[in-house]
């Protein structure tokens, strides 16, 4: 053990220090110019301390002092050991997720930097857990399992940081999406004609699923946010548990594989309707009842197409891949009828995903007709620069997906070469072709304007790769994993390789608790009073912050469903001049006595930053034209709310409109 430790320690030490330096985001340029602060000193001191600790472990390997330490540690009371062991993870979770950012922003600099330094040490947390929990004989399995547990805890708890009764939006589209989800079951909350449809930029699959809490008429806002967190955690773990069946594997090791499957999906992240569709397909794959299996795949296909048109064929393709690879895994000569189950499940997926919806006239099924599909692809520009590291996504799409899935693909190829799941070469070629198709579609959708800030558009590819690994798991990996770590040493490097991408990407996505100003209630009362007063004189448009109507003002102010913020952004990215001509006409005739929106400020120059292309489109089509006809009377940038009232435009402003306003009905009648 000592020789192996000395050989691996230098590489691990360099990787560890590089990881800490990257996560600490040290201001190197300022320090090089001599602009040191107490915060930068604290971070450099912490980095040097980690370096010295690593050198000490290299010079005096654990084999020398570990037995003596574990003997003394085991003599301590067990509750004390667990309390000390969980202290570091609790501090890590608090510092990275639940620490109140508003106190960090207003507190002393040294306190902010200390909290940051303590919060960023996932590797230090793993070592701390090991000091108190690892057994006397340490193998590669123990730090690997501990790292997996720490990263899983962070990824699992991250969505729950947004569970709050805070009345305003937590981020750009969060509040308006809460309004979207209320339409199927909660439209009674609004003053709106019962028989008139409400236009929403949303799909039935998502709206019905996220809108289930609205079946309770008095559902509060915190319950909807809790349901959102549940939907982004529980289905992920359920799919991993079902896909990687336990079999004869010890329960503890099956749990570790399931946790890894959760992280593999969370690095997308993937919208829950597709995860639920994949869960139905995995259930059908394990079922030995043909009727039940076909029904499950049918439902998976129908539900997937109700959410996104790009998902229409995904359940059928997954079912074909699983059934065909599983049809004759250990037979040199295929038996008669081996093709029946793959054909049956594929047909069920196509019926539910496309043929039946097409006969019913469902909009997503009609989208795949040649003319509509071509128009859909040409509606918005493609930003190919996002394939590589950029301001929108630091990893870049191609390096990011390679980091996320490269080791999994390598393991899949390696296990196939070992002959653990022998299938016909055509079946293996089909699996590769399906994964390549999923990858191509994910890349094309990701580079469209409005996307590319993470890997969530590679959703079909990520789930397809997970299910392909489940096939290998069923026919060889599970048996090999049962012998680890004693008789099967290659699992150690494979384990670290498979965990690297999910660990880096999920921690990259972590979002601490949003800034929640303590005076939000006073701002809510001010906005509510202004909206009620304006509603007595005319229409009030909630372009943004529509959740205020859903939970606080819906029965006081008539709903104006048009010109919702996400809808405006979607049309701005498509440069839909006809749509904005109607919008500008309504602004020109001062249709709205009050507009509630996010703070609108014209860009001083060329857009640059996280979503530069999107910001430029928003500025051109929405911000400047809106401020041409309306002026702010109240703005709160911290909360993200602004009130606009009508104003008379100047000729210079009118000349800069991207398109002329559509004529009013009175103007059309006056024309000869």
Q: Which of 102-116, 142-156, 248-262, 583-597 has the lowest mean pLDDT?
A: 102-116
Q: Where along the chain do its domains lie?
A: 2-162, 239-330+337-482, 517-670
pLDDT band for position 213 (cuts 50, 70, 90): very high
Residue burial 204-216, b: 16+ Cβ < 10 Å; e: rest = bbbbbbbbebbee
**Measured over all CA atoms, what is the biggest interatomic distance in the chain, rounded to whole angstroms?**
100
Dihedral of CA atoms 208, 210, 216, 217 in degrees, nearest 10, equals -80
Structure tokens at 335: 């038996």
- Residue 635: its pLDDT value, please? 96
pLDDT band for position 302 (cuts 50, 70, 90): very high
Residue 104 vs residue 246, higher pLDDT:
246
- Residue 493: its pLDDT value, please? 79
Q: Which of 48-62, 343-357, 427-441, 569-583 has the lowest mean pLDDT?
A: 48-62
How far apart, in whole angstroms, are the C-alpha atoms of residue 6 and residue 10? 7
**pLDDT tens-place string over residues 352-383:** 999 999 888 888 777 766 566 556 666 688 89
Question: What is the distance in angstroms between the CA of the first residue and the CA of the last residue of the chain?
Answer: 94
- Sheet of 630-636, strand order: 539-542, 592-597, 641-646, 630-636
How far apart, in whole angstroms, are the C-alpha atoms of residue 166 and residue 93? 21
Phi and psi of 223, rounded to 5°?
Answer: -70, -40
- Residue 97: its pLDDT value, please? 81
Is the pLDDT score of 39 beyond 80?
no
Cβ-contact 629, 588 below 8 angstroms: yes
Nearest to 505 by CA among 267, 264, 265: 267
Is the pLDDT score of 107 beyond 60?
no
Residues 6+ apart with CB under 8 A from 336: none
pTM listed for this prediction: 0.90
Kindly report the CA angle at 561 between 556 and 566, in degrees rounded to 5?
A: 120
Is the pLDDT score of 273 beyond 80?
yes
- Residue 373: its pLDDT value, please? 54
pLDDT band for position 419 (cuts 50, 70, 90): confident
Kindly report the CA angle at 522 between 518 and 524, in degrees rounded to 5?
A: 105
Is the pLDDT score of 435 beyond 80?
yes
The counts of H helices and E strands in the chain are 34, 4
Which residues in 8-65 belong to E strands, given as ranges? none
**pLDDT tens-place string over residues 17-30:** 665 665 555 555 55
Residue burial 225-242, b: 16+ Cβ < 10 Å; e: rest = bbbbbebbbebbbbbbbb
Structure tokens at 600: 């609108």
Sort 77 into a burial class: Cβ within 10 Å, 0-12 / 13-18 / 19+.
exposed
Give whichever of 130-134, 247-251, 389-393, 621-625 has the largest mean pLDDT: 621-625
Is the pLDDT score of 260 beyond 80?
yes
pLDDT band for position 284 (cuts 50, 70, 90): very high
Mean pLDDT of 98-123: 56
Cβ-contact 174, 159 below 8 angstroms: no
Tokens 């994964």, residue? 435
Mean pLDDT of 201-213: 94
Mean pLDDT of 74-98: 86
Structure tokens at 469: 């690994």
* CA distances (Å), origin 532, targets 69, 129, 169, 538, 553: 69, 56, 20, 10, 9
Phi and psi of 558, rounded to 5°?
Answer: -60, 140
- Residue 87: its pLDDT value, please? 86
Phi and psi of 569, rounded to 5°?
Answer: -65, -40
- Residue 504: its pLDDT value, please? 84
Q: Which of 8-17, 238-247, 575-584 has the lowest mean pLDDT?
A: 8-17
Is the pLDDT score of 487 beyond 60?
no
**Three-state SS for 265?**
helix
Q: What is the rounded average pLDDT for all residues in the chain?
A: 85
How far apart, in whole angstroms, are the C-alpha atoms of residue 313 and residue 274? 12
Query: How many residues belong to the chain?
Result: 672
Structure tokens at 35: 């602009």
Structure tokens at 81: 């050991």
Is the pLDDT score of 211 beyond 90?
yes
> Strands 592-597 and 641-646: what pairing?
antiparallel
How far apart, in whole angstroms, are the C-alpha atoms of residue 558 and residue 178? 18
């Amino acid at each position: 053990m000592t020789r192996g430790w000395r050989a691996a320690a230098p590489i691990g030490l360099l990787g560890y220090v590089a990881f800490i330096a990257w996560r600490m985001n040290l201001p190197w340029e300022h320090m090089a110019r001599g602009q040191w602060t107490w915060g930068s000193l604290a971070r450099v001191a912490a980095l040097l301390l980690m370096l010295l600790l690593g050198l000490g472990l290299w010079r005096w390997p654990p084999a020398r002092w570990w037995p003596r330490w574990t003997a003394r540690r085991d003599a301590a009371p067990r509750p004390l050991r667990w309390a000390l062991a969980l202290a570091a993870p609790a501090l890590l979770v608090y510092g990275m997720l639940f620490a109140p950012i508003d106190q960090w922003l207003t507190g002393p600099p040294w306190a902010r930097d200390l909290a940051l330094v303590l919060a960023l040490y996932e590797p230090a947390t793993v070592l701390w857990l090991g000091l108190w929990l690892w057994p006397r004989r340490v193998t590669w399995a123990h730090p690997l399992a501990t790292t997996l547990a720490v990263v899983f805890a962070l990824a699992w708890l991250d969505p729950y940081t947004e569970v709050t009764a805070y009345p305003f939006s937590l981020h750009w589209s969060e509040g308006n999406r809460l309004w979207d989800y209320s339409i199927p079951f909660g439209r009674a909350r609004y003053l709106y004609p019962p028989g008139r449809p409400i236009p929403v930029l949303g799909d039935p699959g998502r709206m019905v699923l996220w809108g289930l809490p609205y079946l309770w008429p008095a559902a509060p806002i915190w319950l909807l946010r809790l349901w959102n967190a549940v939907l982004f955690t529980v289905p992920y773990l359920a799919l991993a548990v079902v896909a990687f069946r336990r079999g004869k594997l010890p329960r503890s090791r099956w749990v570790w594989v399931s946790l890894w499957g959760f992280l593999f999906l969370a690095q997308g992240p993937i919208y829950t309707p597709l995860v639920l569709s994949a869960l139905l397909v995995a259930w059908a794959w394990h079922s030995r009842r043909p009727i039940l299996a076909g029904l499950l795949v049918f439902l998976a296909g129908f539900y997937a197409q109700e959410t996104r048109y790009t998902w229409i064929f995904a359940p059928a393709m997954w079912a074909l891949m699983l059934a065909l690879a599983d049809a004759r895994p250990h037979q040199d000569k295929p038996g008669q009828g081996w093709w029946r189950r793959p054909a049956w499940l594929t047909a069920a997926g196509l019926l539910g995903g496309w043929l039946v919806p097409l006969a019913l006239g469902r909009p997503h099924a009609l989208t795949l007709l040649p003319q509509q599909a071509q128009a859909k692809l040409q509606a918005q520009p493609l930003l190919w620069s996002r394939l590589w590291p950029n301001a929108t996504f630091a990893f870049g799409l191609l390096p990011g997906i390679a980091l996320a899935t490269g080791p999994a693909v390598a393991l899949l190829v390696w296990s196939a070469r070992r002959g653990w799941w022998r299938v016909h070469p055509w079946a293996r070629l089909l699996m590769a072709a399906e994964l390549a198709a999923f990858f191509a579609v994910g890349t094309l959708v990701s580079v469209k304007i409005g996307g590319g800030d993470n890997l969530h558009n590679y959703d079909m590819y990520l789930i397809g790769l997970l299910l392909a690994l489940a096939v290998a798991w069923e026919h060889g990996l599970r048996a090999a994993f049962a012998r680890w770590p004693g008789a099967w040493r290659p699992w150690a490097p494979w384990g670290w390789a498979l965990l690297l991408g999910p660990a880096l990407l999920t921690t990259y996505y972590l979002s601490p608790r949003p800034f929640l100003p303590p005076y939000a209630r006073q701002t809510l009362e001010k906005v509510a009073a202004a909206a009620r007063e304006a509603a007595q004189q005319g229409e009030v448009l909630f372009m943004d912050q529509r959740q205020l109507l859903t939970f606080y003002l819906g029965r006081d102010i008539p709903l104006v469903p048009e010109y919702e913020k996400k809808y405006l952004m979607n049309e701005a990215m498509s440069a839909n001049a006809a749509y904005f001509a109607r919008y500008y006409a309504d602004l020109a005739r001062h249709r709205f006595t009050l507009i509630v929106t996010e703070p609108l400020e014209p860009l001083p120059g060329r857009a640059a930053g996280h979503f530069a292309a999107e910001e430029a489109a928003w500025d051109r089509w929405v911000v400047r034209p809106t401020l041409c006809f309306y002026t702010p009377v109240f703005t709160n940038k911290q909360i993200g709310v602004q009130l606009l009232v009508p104003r008379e435009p100047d000729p210079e402003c009118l000349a800069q409109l991207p398109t002329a306003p559509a004529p009013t009905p009175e103007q059309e009648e006056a024309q000869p």
